Structure 1
C-alpha cells in the first residue's frame, strides 16, 4: 500500500494519523473522567493532569499535521454507492470532529494557562500562556472544554456506528479503506 491517498484508498499516513488520533482521544477522555474524582492526597492528583495536558498539546501538533496532510494528500472520493445525504452528513461530521477537537484542545490549554503559567509538555518544552492572567477564564474554558469533549465523544461514537453500518449492512468498502484492507468492490 502507498503512503499517500489516491482516488480509491487511504494511504498509510492518513490511516495511521486517523487511528492515532482516535486512540488518543479515547485515552484522554478516559483519563479526564478518572482525574476529576482524584483526591488531593492521591499520588496521581498532579501526575494525571500533567499527563493529560502533555498528551493534549502533542495531539494539537498531530492534528495540525493531519490537516496539513489532508491538504497535501486529499482523501479518496466517496464511494459511488453512498446516498447524497450520507455524503453530506459524512463531510459535516468529519469537519465537526476536527472543529470539536480543536475547541477541546484550545479550551484545555486555556484552563491551565489562564493564570498566566505555561504548560509543560513532559518537561521537553513549555507552551507559554497567550492570555496572561485572566480572572474567570479558567471556569469559562472549563465549561467549553467539557461541552466540546462530550460532544466529540458522542459524535465519534456516531462516526464509528456509521462505519459499522457501511461495513455490516451496506457491505461496502468504507471501513476497509480506513483499515488498510483490500477492497471488496472493483471501483
Structure 2
C-alpha cells in the first residue's frame, strides 16, 4: 500500500499528487485574484504571504515527490505506444513547469534581498537577488509558465477521464486508491 507496484501507485504518490493538484489550482486562482487587489485591500499583504508560503511548501513537496518517483517502480503504462510517449512527455513537462513556476516565484520574492517567510515559522533565504530586472523578468516567466501549467494540467485531467470513460482503463482509479 505504501510502495508503488507494477499495477498501481502507493499512498504517498496518491496523496502528493492530489495535494499538488489542489495547491497548483489554488495558487493560480489566488495569484490571478491578487493582481486585482488595491493597495488598501486587507489581502494586498495577506494574499502574497499565503501565496509564497504555500508555494515554498509545494516546492518541497515536489522535490520529495520527484525523489520518491525516481526511487520507486512505476505502474505499467496504458494505451498505445504513442499515448505512452505522450504521457511521458506530458508528465515531464508538468514537472518542469512546476519547477519553473516555483523557482521564478522564488526569484520574484527574493529580488530585493529579503528571504521568504513561510507561514512565519521559518525563512527561506534570498540566495540570488539584485539581478538586473530580476523581479520583472521572473514575474513574466512566472505568469506565462503558470498559465501553461494550468492548461497542461487540464489536458492531463482530460486524458485521465478519456482513459477511464472511453478506454475503460484503471488509470484514474489507481490515482485514487492503491491497486495491488
Q: Is the shorter-chain TM-score for this pair beyond 0.5, marking a shared fold? A: yes
How large is the Cα RMSD of the aligned pairs?
1.2
Aligned length: 180
Give the structure 2 partner of residue 62 of structure 1: 61
SS at match of 2:172: helix
Give the structure 1 partner of residue 76 of structure 2: 77
* Per-residue CA distance 1:76-119 (angstroms, 9 max, x = gap): 1113xx11110000000001000000000000010010111111
- CA-CA distance at 1:181 after TM superposition: 6.6
Q: Point out which structure has higher relative CO (alpha carbons under 8 A, 6+ apart).
A: 2
Give the structure 2 partner of residue 152 of structure 1: 149
Asked if 1:164 is matched to 2:161, the reply is: yes
Unaligned runs of 5+ in 1: none
Does the 8 Å contact 2:160/2:171 carry over to 1? yes
Unaligned runs of 5+ in 2: none
- CA-CA distance at 1:32 after TM superposition: 0.5
Distance in 2 (alpha carbons) for counterparts of 1:5 and 1:119: 34
Does the 8 Å contact 1:114/1:135 carry over to 2? no
Distance in 2 (alpha carbons) for counterparts of 1:181 and 1:119: 36
Distance in 2 (alpha carbons) for counterparts of 1:74 and 1:57: 27
Matches within 5 A, 1:28-177: 28-79=27-78, 82-177=79-174
Distance in 1 (alpha carbons) for counterparts of 2:57 and 2:121: 11
Runs of 4+ that moved beyond 6 A:
none
